[in-house]
Structure formats: C-alpha cells, structure tokens
Structure 1
Amino acid sequence: MRSVTPDAVRSRSTATRIGLLLAVVSALAFSLSGPLAGALFETGWSPGAVVIVRMAVGALVVLPLGIRALHGRWDVVRRNARMIVAYGLLGVAATQFCFFVAVQHMQVGPALLVEYSAPAAVVVWLWLRRGQRPTRATLGGVALALVGLLLVLDLTGARVSLVGTAWALGAMIGASAYFLLNARADTGLPPLSLAAGGLTVGTLSLGALAAVGLLPMSASTAPVTLGGATLPWWSALAVLGVVAAGVAYVTGIAAGRRLGARASSFMGLLEVLSAVLLAWALLGQLPSPVQLTGGALVLAGVVVVQQGEAAAARRTTNTLAASARRRR
C-alpha cells in the first residue's frame, strides 16, 4: 500500500487547480468554432469544408510540436498506435461527421442536447465497466446540468427525428470517447503528441468521406462579418484551426489527465455557455431569460460534480493515509 504524504496531497490539489484552468481554456477555445463557422456559412462555406480545414490547420500547427514533445521516443507512438487511431476516428472524426449528418435530419438544438449528454454517458460507462460508483453529489450535478442544458438550448417547438437522433447518439459516443481517452494518463504519450496524432487521423478520415461525396464541400473567399467587423476569410479559418482545434484539443487532453474523465467531461459543458455568450457578443444573438437560467443551472451542476469528485478524492486519500499509519 503506498503512503500518502502532505506533499502528495498538495501536489494533487495543485494538479486539480491546473486541470480546472485547462478545462476552462479548452471549453472557451472549442466554443469559438460556433460563431466563426456560422460567419463562414453565411458566405457560402459548407459545414464539411469548414470542419476539414479547421482540423487540417490544427494538425499542421500541432504536429511539429507533438513530434518535438516525443524527444525521439517513437516507441511510445508504436505502443499507443491503436489508441491514437481510435482517438482520431471517434474523438475527432466521428463526433464531427455524426453531428453534421444529424443536423441534416433534425434541428441543431435537439442534436446538441443528445451530443452533450456525453458526461452522463461517461458516468455510466465508468460505473458499469470500471466500478467507479458516482457519488450522490455527482448524480445531483448530472441532473442539474442536464436540466440546465435543456433550457440553454431552448427546444421549444423542436422537431425530433429518429434518424437524426441515431446520428446524434453517434456524436455523443464520439464525444464520450474523447473524454475517456483524454483521461488515459498511463500511456506515456504527451498531450501534444496525442492531439497531433488524433487531429491528423481525424483530418484524413474526414477527407476520405469528402472524397466519396459524404461530406459536401463548398468554399468562398468572401470576407466574413463578426461583431460588426469585416475580416478576411482566411483569418476566421486560421483562428478556427489554431485555437478552436489545436489549443482546444491539447488543453482538453491535459485537463482530462489531471481531472479524470468524469470531472473533465462536465467541465466541457462550459463550451455550451461560452458559445451562447460568444454568439451574443459576436453575432448579436441575445440569450433569453430562460437560456440565462439554464446557464446558471449548468454552472451549478458543474460545480456540484466537481465538489463531489473532490470529496471522493479526499476520502480515497484519507483511506490510503489511514492504511499507511496502520502499517507503521
């Protein structure tokens, strides 16, 4: 039984704080994709073209950094090759493609609700597959967050399609895999390297889908309008690739390794709130009182889940410390 020292407790607390900060940065970075992509759609870009360029730019930026982070340890890549491919196919490509198809059959709000139920799926998976029983606080936070998400997405009058729901469930599975694989801290693979590999595999996979016509492609060089300002088309794509893909995935992986899959997946819900606020600031889409109330509930749910996870970690630490004292 390993002993628990005060230094180890302080180190774990510091790692949690850093993980929370990284998770917030990741959620904010991901949320930029909505307003920027929306502005590009207005000029004639197709969703498929925006997604592929976003991933490709992210891969080009992160790949050199990921290679450098390996320090020549290519054996780590070989050992984790299947995980990298799974991350790229599920966490990157499947999430994007399934959501893209889902919104062709149903409205965006219900599709987002299904996809963003991923944190609840992560809780159930860890409970059933790994025996990590959630605390009452975690379950309460799940309920609060899901109710808040319903209000934020404002599903009044929304139409539900069985086909669309099936594809949205595919996006949810991909998002769940993203959080679960992010939390794998035993691989020896640096976050930069996993992000680089995942973005590369995801880009190639989406490119193959576009090549066979499953992802319609159209683009435009017309300027985009954001927050009343007119910007060149390439600047929106650059921010999408560097920030909403590169920074978002790297910080998401780093956060997952410090917080674990459950806590980091709920922190990911902050992306929905940030996207609503950015749509307000950049596109003039004022959130309704109901959406603001939902946002408060989502935040409350995230806080409750984090407190529940922290309490569970403290109990584990105290148990280990008591066992170490008895051994002496």
Structure 2
Amino acid sequence: MVEQAPVRRTPPTRLAFALALVSAAAFGTSGPFGKALFEGGWTPAAAVTARIGIAALVLAVPTYLELRGRWHLLRKNLGIVLLYGMTGVAGCQLFYFVAVEHLSVGVALLLEYLSPVLLVGYTWLLTRRAPSRLTLAGAATAIAGLALVLNVFGDVQLDTVGVACGLAAAFCSAAYFVVASHTHEDSLSPLALAGAGMAAGVLPLVAVGALGLLPFRASTDDVPFAGHEVSFVIPLLGIAVIAAAFAYVTGVVSARMLGSRLASFVALSEVLFAVLFAWWLLGELPLPVQLAGGVLIVAGVLLVKASEDSPLVE
C-alpha cells in the first residue's frame, strides 16, 4: 500500500493563531471547573472519565453526521484515531494525575509541557536539519516562562515515578500534536477526529476506574464555584463541553493550520489562561513572577514563529 503524502500547509494566518489561543483558553478552564468538582468530593480519575465520556456523547451526533456515507474514512484512519485517543485524550491525563501524586502540581505540569521541546527534537530527526537559533532561543524562553508561571522554584520535590509519569505525559502531549496536525487526502475532519478520538480515549479511562488502579469517587452534592454553591452539573458540563469537546476540536483545527511544532508552543499559553481563569473565577490572584512568566511564554512563541521561514510539513 502506498503511503499518502501529507498535504502542504499554507503559511499560518491570524485565524490559525486565534483558534490556537481559543483552544488553549478552553483547555485552561479545566482548572476552575475541576477544582469545583474535587472540592465536591470527586476524585481526579472520576472527573476526567466523566469529562471525556460526556464530551464523547456531545460529539457523537455531529461525528455521525460528518461520517455518514463516508465510513471508509474511519476505517482508513482507525490507527490515527486510536493513537489520538490513547495519547492525547487518555494518556496525557492519566500520566499527569499519577505524576501529581508524586510531585507538586507545578513540576508535573512543567514536565508535561516539555512536549514543544520534544517536537523540536522530533522535527530535527525527521528532517535531519538542526533547529535554527531562533527556534532554540524560543524554546528556552518559553520553557523559562512556563517555569515562572507555574512557580516551581519554591518547593521542588522530585520522585522517580513522578518524573517518569510526567515525561510520559509529555510524550503523549507531543504525540497529540503530531496526530492532530497530520493531514492527507483521506484525513478525517477535525470534528470527526476529535469525536472518534474521545470515544477511543474514554475506554482506557473506564478500565482504569473499573480495575481500581486510581481512586474513583463521584458525588451529586452541590459544589463551590465562582463564590457560589452550584449544582455539580454546572462545572461537570463546563469541563466536558468547553474544556474537552470544544477545546479538542479547535485544537485539531489550529494544529492542522499551524503544524505540530508551532501549535505546541502556542498551547503553552494554556497555563497562563489557567492562572487568569483562577484569578477571575476563584479569586486566586496571580503573582508578579507568574505574569512575567506569561510575557516570556509569548516572547518564546514569537521567536519560534519568526523561525518558521517556510510552512512546516510533517
């Protein structure tokens, strides 16, 4: 069977960057929504499983309508769908939550968001061309900014299992961007890929809960959110519809427009959005060092963008 050649991308546009930022902002809402559920008695594994399961249901009908009469596309892209679901949907979150059990949240997130650096190395191996100085400078600047936003320098505790799971989450995140950005003539649409990937990703999450590999508890009690006691349904729908279904679909669209490497750097803004949403919804005031980190992340993205002298083809 002859492998189909990737479709050459046009240069990134303002729309592509806008969609990438919208996706990052949507992912960034998962913090406040998730914290409300956790304070209401939910465990992370239960919240993540419900998040992905509901998102899969939300996208089920649009995905069916998108694929109706074209089911051969799903068969041709089954491997891509499974990889997307196992890495970008299930793998990232499961490895991250295991890492959090052994590390501080900031260090775990810093390890997971090493994915842009991994993608720089992946592109280097794929093309056999060393990254430009601008790309390397952008990577270093963005990662430094990420460390400041996450404020990891105060109390850094390392653990072998935690570091291993954090790096596994980074590899899963990198795989997500590669899979999401890959296109050919018989590619699934972003909606179909996200919808089918959600369905594939929820299966290992359910298995983890059924086997008792992680604590799995949920509650129907009211939860604290944005200064009020609200039904658990509100943050649950928020984390599923906004921070999953919408975030993943727009993420695939922007990744295909920007390419995996640039999209992964723009996605670093998720942590900055998370800080801002925590400030707005939870009253958690960001520190000056976190705001300075946000500036460095933006500067790093701009440096990587400046190094893109031709459309990225993966």
**TM-score in terms of structure 2 length:** 0.93
Contact 1:145 1:301 in 2 (8 A): yes
Structure 1 residues 100-109 or 224-233, which shifts more? 224-233
Contact 2:60 2:195 in 1 (8 A): yes
User: What is the CA-CA distance between 1:133 and the residue it aligns to?
Assistant: 4.0
Name 1:6's counterpart in structure 2: none
Matched, 1:100 2:97: yes
Secondary structure class of the residue paired with 2:310: helix
Distance in 1, Cα, partners of 2:80 & 2:127: 18
Name 2:39's counterpart in structure 1: 42
Secondary structure class of the residue paired with 1:140: helix
CA deviation profile, 1:51-84 (whole Å, cap 9, x unmatched): 0000011100112111212241111111111111
Name 2:226's counterpart in structure 1: 227
Structure 1 residues 165-174 or 128-137, which shifts more? 128-137
Unaligned runs of 5+ in 1: 1-10, 317-328
Distance in 2, Cα, partners of 1:18 & 1:99: 30
Structure 1 residues 286-295 or 15-24, which shifts more? 15-24
User: What is the CA-CA distance between 1:157 and the residue it aligns to?
Assistant: 1.6
**Correspondence 1:139-158 to 2 at 5 A:** 139-155=136-152, 156-158=154-156
Name 2:259's counterpart in structure 1: 260
CA deviation profile, 1:151-180 (whole Å, cap 9, x unmatched): 111111221111100011111111010111
Name 2:21's counterpart in structure 1: 24
User: What is the CA-CA distance between 1:230 and the residue it aligns to?
Assistant: 2.6
Matched, 1:89 2:86: yes
| Matched residue type, 2:283 | G
Percent sequence identity is: 44
Among 175, 178, 192, the alignment partner of 2:176 is 178
CA deviation profile, 1:181-205 (whole Å, cap 9, x unmatched): 0110114211111101111111111
Distance in 2, Cα, partners of 1:61 & 1:256: 22
Distance in 1, Cα, partners of 2:79 & 2:290: 41
What is the Cα-based RMSD across aligned positions, in Å?
Answer: 1.8
User: What is the CA-CA distance between 1:136 and the residue it aligns to?
Assistant: 2.2
| Matched residue type, 1:97 | L
Secondary structure class of the residue paired with 2:285: coil
CA deviation profile, 1:261-303 (whole Å, cap 9, x unmatched): 1110001001000001111111111111111111110111112
User: How many residues are matched?
Assistant: 304
Name 1:289's counterpart in structure 2: 288
Matched, 1:72 2:69: yes
Contact 1:118 1:173 in 2 (8 A): yes
Contact 2:53 2:198 in 1 (8 A): yes
Secondary structure class of the residue paired with 1:103: helix
Secondary structure class of the residue paired with 1:312: coil
Name 1:206's counterpart in structure 2: 205
Name 1:121's counterpart in structure 2: 118
Distance in 1, Cα, partners of 2:75 & 2:178: 20
* Greater helix content: 1
Distance in 1, Cα, partners of 2:134 & 2:253: 25
Among 151, 156, 159, the alignment partner of 2:157 is 159
Contact 2:141 2:300 in 1 (8 A): yes
| Matched residue type, 2:16 | G
